[in-house]
Structure 1
Amino acid sequence: MVFGESFRVKAMAMGGLEILESRDYEGLLAAGFLTGVPSQLDFEASRIRFQSGGERFDTTGYHPWPSRREQQGAGEKIYVDVMIDGIKANCLLDTGSPPALILHPQFVRKNKLWDRYAHPREQPIKGIHGDTTKSRYVHADSLDIGGFPIKGAPVTLLDPQANSGFGLDDGIIGMGAIGRFNHIFAKDGLLVKPNRYFDKVEPLFSA
């Protein structure tokens, strides 16, 4: 299998999902695609780069983003730590999720976030399997990623009374936050650096 112009993979696990038939894309790439070899996700240049030979990525201006990788079947998931208004949350990194940050019911309930923020906008949110959950769209004072605070970050709070269908993590970091940074997936962890979309990401990615 060839990705881009020259990145060749001799063997890759693949699967089919009927739930993607009505989507405007043809498939999904798991996190292992980026972490299998050192890589750089560059939103400014709209490029994914893979490190080869003796080359090294320039890490000037990058900060480490506390993370862990977890093998799940043939794939891999990445979990990252963020600070939302001084509260630490461990979240799944998901480029397939448009919102900047979705916080799961148990985390919202534990930290009493449902009624914390002024002027919430209530709206239903639909999961990848079609299930719908009540949510509140709010703006946090600060969302810290890798030591870089995002002021007034958009956050989606899931109904604290909902109890099923959610993992053990605290939430999901999606493109509304991921797209504000360029990323380096190194052997020893994840590095991030704000890009030109850091303060104005909404036109590109749904909040």
Structure 2
Amino acid sequence: MFELEKFQKAFEISFPVEAAQQILGLMESLYGSEFERVHGKTDADLLIENTRLVLDGITPEQLQNGIKLMRSERWCPTLPGFRFLCLQDGDWWTAEQAWTFALNWKKDSSKPITTLAKRTLGEVSEVLNGQGQKAAYKAFIDTYEYNLRQAKARNCTQVMWVKPKTSDDVKQQKTTERNRSGMPCPPELAAKIKGAYRGNLS
């Protein structure tokens, strides 16, 4: 009996029913038919209980963070996906943000991109080039989230990618420095310097 009570405690849920209902209502209003595609096959009461189960332990601040990040998500998140958003620390791009920035960078390499997003884009480039964006989307999201977990486990911080200078860039910089003209020395200062120089010679 004692052991059974221990296991039963694992199923105790404190996440409020009202909060779960509000979250699901917000998802439905934001995503419409996409919400139905992801969650519509689950009975309404069971969906509420599943939401409470998945989000149990999430603080109000984390919940607010998840809602904020969800507003920029292209697709309706699953319940575990929403929990993942809640636990984002805000210092890293989400997978959706990384995907958007990666596509922008692919079109124009002057656009900003993080080293992690660029690395992930390279890892799924074969899928992107061979099967298109729709097929590459899921591969990118899954790969980025895996890479992000690995980076956080190593206590890494997000770093923006900077294009390394090429030999042509270095040559151009040296040429610019050689051709740079200085400001002329004022006559009064030139006279003082000349006088001091003569004094040292005498």
Greater RCO, CA 8 A, separation 6+: 1
TM-based fold match above 0.5: no
TM-score if structure 2 supplies the norm length?
0.26
TM-score if structure 1 supplies the norm length?
0.25
Q: Which has the larger radius of gyration?
A: 2
Per residue, is there more strand in 1 or in 2?
1
Per residue, is there more helix in 1 or in 2?
2
